[in-house]
Amino acid sequence: MTRISVTVDGVDYSDEVEPRTLLVHYLREQLGKTGTVVGCDTSNCGACTVHLDGRSVKSCNVLAVQADGHDVTTIEGLAVDGELHPMQRAFHECHALQCGYCTPGMIMQAIDVLTENPHPTEQEIRVGLEGNLCRCTGYHNIVKAVQQAAGTSSASVAAADGAQS
């Protein structure tokens, strides 16, 4: 066993883990952070996406020991004082989920997309989300939600155009 110290959703933890323990299993089984889910065992689906020091990673592809000394944010750490993160709100308002299984990872990845590029085109959003699979194929509304969160949806673009004319 190896001792790790990690900050998860703003709380410091110090735990013994086996060197082979995956970050996603540490989060779910030792910390009870079941908002982060496992959708495959091949690093393909992105359902397990979390932020490690502010950038997205597939937590089934990271060992818990690799998070030692680092800062992890899960879907459960996004809301502040009961207020949804703007990306969570956009997913809700755009009906960007069906079964919801992909949603935690999709939201974490979508935030990373906007961190990298605050004003992406639709194509850039689609490329940014290509590592996250939605088995319900709800991609259309997912892209709309990211556009809304970025302020680049056609409605907000039209409003901005109107304000300028």
Which residues contribute to the site for ligand FES (CB under 6 A)?
Answer: 38-40, 43-48, 58, 60, 97-102, 134-136, 138
Residue 26 or residue 101: which is nearer to ligand FES going by CB? Answer: 101
Kindly state the smallest distance separating residue 39's Cβ from ligand FES, in Å: 4
Kindly state the smallest distance separating residue 33's Cβ from ligand FES, in Å: 14
Alpha-carbon span 43 to 55, nearest angstrom: 17
Residue 28 or residue 152: which is nearer to ligand FES going by CB? Answer: 28
3-state secondary structure the chain: CEEEEEEECCEEEEEEECCCCEHHHHHHHHCCCCCCCCCCCCCCCCCCEEEECCEEEEHHHCEHHHHCCCEEECHHHCCECCECCHHHHHHHHCCCCCCCCCHHHHHHHHHHHHHHCCCCCHHHHHHHCCCCCCCCCCHHHHHHHHHHHHCCCHHHHHHHHHHHC
Q: Could you tell me the CA-to-CA distances from 147 to 54, 150, 156 in Å, in that order?
A: 21, 5, 9
Kindly state the smallest distance separating residue 159's Cβ from ligand FES, in Å: 28
Kindly state the smallest distance separating residue 44's Cβ from ligand FES, in Å: 6
Residue 40 or residue 155: which is nearer to ligand FES going by CB? Answer: 40
Residue 77 or residue 104: which is nearer to ligand FES going by CB? Answer: 104
Residue 40 or residue 159: which is nearer to ligand FES going by CB? Answer: 40
Q: Which two tokens stand for residue 59?
A: 């937590």
Kindly state the smallest distance separating residue 144's Cβ from ligand FES, in Å: 14
